[in-house]
Structure 1
Amino acid sequence: MYNYTHLENWYDTNQIKIQQDGSTGLFIEWQVVSALEEWTTGSSQVFRIVGPSLAADQSPMSLIALELIGSAAQLQIPTVSFFCELPHKKLLEGRTAEVEALIALTYSLIRQPIELLPIQFTSTTHLSQQMLELLDRSLETWEVAMTALGELLDLSLSVLFCVIDNFQELGHKSTKRATPGGGSRGRHG
């Protein structure tokens, strides 16, 4: 099995909500319920709920995300989650808070699927302990992080529910490039 605990140095584990204790008591609008129902019977792998960005600690969108995580847990659907927020600590020189938050999201999305893998599994990917050890929050290892994430998603269970809340916080010109270090390598989107 892989040792990946060093990845937790680069994000706050409180941003991961694996299971919600009880219901938030949130009344979800019928449009959201209808869209979710349609998604579960359709062929799309992506379900997106967009709402207003609020400065409140628990926006309606965050509460919906918590409800979805709780429902997935009750149904025993493997789930990874991350609640994005800009860091309040001192940033590395030349870094924006949005890039730091993107790295935190990425490292979290690498760590969580590893925990969902069976203890014994067969892999035809190039994922290795050495690859994970290279991940040090530097922009030079961004492509390694993307490779590791892609390979982990290939190894993951056939159903993996992923909830990312407050993703709009990462919207900044510094995070628009496929490789945060700049240049024209990689795909753009």
Structure 2
Amino acid sequence: MDTSIFAPIPLSYPGKDVTTIDKPTILMDSLASTGPIPRQLVLGRVDEQALVIHLENKGLVVVVGCGHQTLTALITHIETHFEAPLYALIGDVHFPLETGRLHIAGIDIQRRLASGSGLLSPIGKQDVLNDIALMSQKFDIVALGAHDTSDQALVLVEEHFTGEFIPVRAGKPIHFDDFVTRTKEAR
């Protein structure tokens, strides 16, 4: 099987060519990469990309990994570089509320070193509620996993997101035909 590998930074993979993407790039019909969206964290700079899939008559489905780049940066970047409206967000948005899932030497690494505004200003409940309000304005569907998002934050999204919320589960498909698209006025 011929597989293409695209990365936001130079990488190598045994037996394969890796294409470095340094800006928003169309990969094939209806599929693009955002290119790297950088963020400086306590532990260093992170360059994450997201996939953007254009669903005809619906809009853009954004598939994000860890979500370190922040929801605001992700949305701003996509709206700057892509013309179709946002429709759905799938993946993780890095909301390690109250306690993250990764602790080393008594330090909540996810919360203190990889979210919020730094070591002494980790992400808080109001930050998550603000992002949920932004999600409600921009997306019809949000499907989130729990890689870097705490269970407490997922409960907040389920309670406050005004569109369709889907908890992501490994192996469980998401069918967009099951959902009705809201009009821009309803967002």
What's the TM-score once normalised by structure 1's chain length? 0.29
Greater relative contact order (CA < 8 Å, ≥ 6 in sequence)? 1
**1 or 2, which has the higher strand percentage?**
2
